[in-house]
Structure 1
Amino acid sequence: MGGLAAILSGCAARSKFRSYNGPLVTRVRLYKGQRLLVLDSGDSALRTYPVGLGFAPEGHKQFEGDGRTPEGSYLIDRRNPQSKFHLSIGISYPNEADMAFAKAQGKSPGGDIFIHGGPRRGIDPTDVRDWTAGCIALTDRQIEDVYAMVQDGTPIDIYA
């Protein structure tokens, strides 16, 4: 009977919510040209991940619908445990300068820029590059780690 319980417990769906007890992530860096996300603790890189970006990744995001991923300094400012992209953590785009530029052009800067998982379980979003509307895409397994490691308020620097 105990063996059956052990087998059945192994068949249970694993949780997408992980725990993390390692060093504090003090900064996130994204290198768009290299499609590389780096989690730092102090002066040391803790983890690196390959990523997919917006469908038009060249240049800084300026307007809603342009398909670009922002560039500059922002903060991780929210999280969505019910994301349709498995899990997601939000980036504080647009900032005041982004809003002012878009307004001067008579356009919306857009928003809702996230680091998130794939479009559905079992799909590796980094195999199909640059498919998002401007977000940063990881695999579902990778976003589970990032979601656990990176806290709201963590700075994120996004480079070309």
Structure 2
Amino acid sequence: MMLWVLVGALLPVVLLAAPPPINKLALFPDKSAWCEAKNITQIVGHSGCKSKSIQNRACLGQCFSYSVPNTFPQSTESLVHCDSCMPSQSMWEIVTLDCPSHDEMPRVDKLVEKIVHCSCQACGKEASHEEMSFFTHGREEHPGSHPGRHSLEVEEPPGPTHPVEEGAEE
């Protein structure tokens, strides 16, 4: 009985887990997937505020994806695989912008994702923001802990470049 409870609890987790990234394909044995964090200068701005340049990283690479023609009735095996170069480790940093033209809100805090490492991961995987740490001026803080009047804005990663509507044909 206990075994069935254990299997029943773990089976959905195993079935929903993303497959591991693919580093080599049989059709192209001389090609390898690669993904790395490259240094960039990022401009953080807000309307009516002075922009700031910060050092950050961007994920750049080539990860494998494939799609094999399906059958009807449909087979039970997945014939589609997609990996994308994306952050595997990041932290959030508060960047304070001065806003001289805003008397009511002279400063705006922007949360900026700082990328530490990148890797090939399943496409569509979203980063978890449950355990976010915020670092500003070398010490850990929490949003809303600044004295004075501030506005806090989260810089979200961009969404998909080509949104697909349900029922739309491609």
**TM-score for the superposition, normalised by structure 1:** 0.26
In terms of fraction of residues, the more strand-rich structure is: 2
**TM-score for the superposition, normalised by structure 2:** 0.25
Higher relative contact order at CA 8 Å, sep ≥6: structure 1 or structure 2? 1
